[in-house]
């Protein structure tokens, strides 16, 4: 296997793992944060984090305190960062695949 291609695969896999870890940190951190700040039951804390990250905003379980609103803001920022990083990763993957295809086509034309 081509060493460059193998390196790119490992790099791509590492980026996906980072995104998954960041997602877990935001979800778990937000849930624990709501539990500490608002003292809500665990399932309500997790529910609030999920509807905040997914931007569904179905309904708030309880009205958050000012500290809870700051937590919601940080969860939104974390979710937005992860979404943008994921979109960037998809774009880079598509471009590198497109570039690799074109290189193979050019090599076939040369041969």
Each as own residue / partner, the long-range contacts of residues 24-32 (CB below 8 Å, 24 or more positions apart, any chain) are 25/78, 26/53, 26/75, 26/78, 26/79, 26/82, 27/53, 29/78, 30/71, 30/74, 30/75, 30/78
pTM of the shown model: 0.79
For the segment 59-91, what is each residue's pLDDT rounded down to a tens digit? 788 888 999 999 999 999 999 999 999 999 889
pLDDT range class, residue 18, cuts 50, 70, 90: very high
pLDDT value at 50 more than 80: yes
């Amino acid at each position: 296997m081509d060493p460059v291609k193998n390196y790119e695969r490992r790099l791509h896999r590492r980026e996906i793992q980072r995104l998954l870890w960041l997602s877990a940190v935001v979800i778990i951190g937000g849930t624990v944060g709501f539990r500490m700040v608002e003292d809500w039951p665990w399932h309500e804390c997790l529910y609030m984090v999920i509807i905040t990250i997914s931007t569904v905003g179905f309904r708030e379980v309880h009205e958050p305190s000012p500290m809870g609103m700051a937590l919601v803001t940080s969860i939104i920022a974390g979710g937005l960062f992860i979404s943008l990083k994921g979109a960037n990763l998809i774009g880079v993957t598509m471009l590198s695949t497109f570039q690799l295809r074109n290189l193979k086509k050019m090599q076939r034309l040369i041969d």
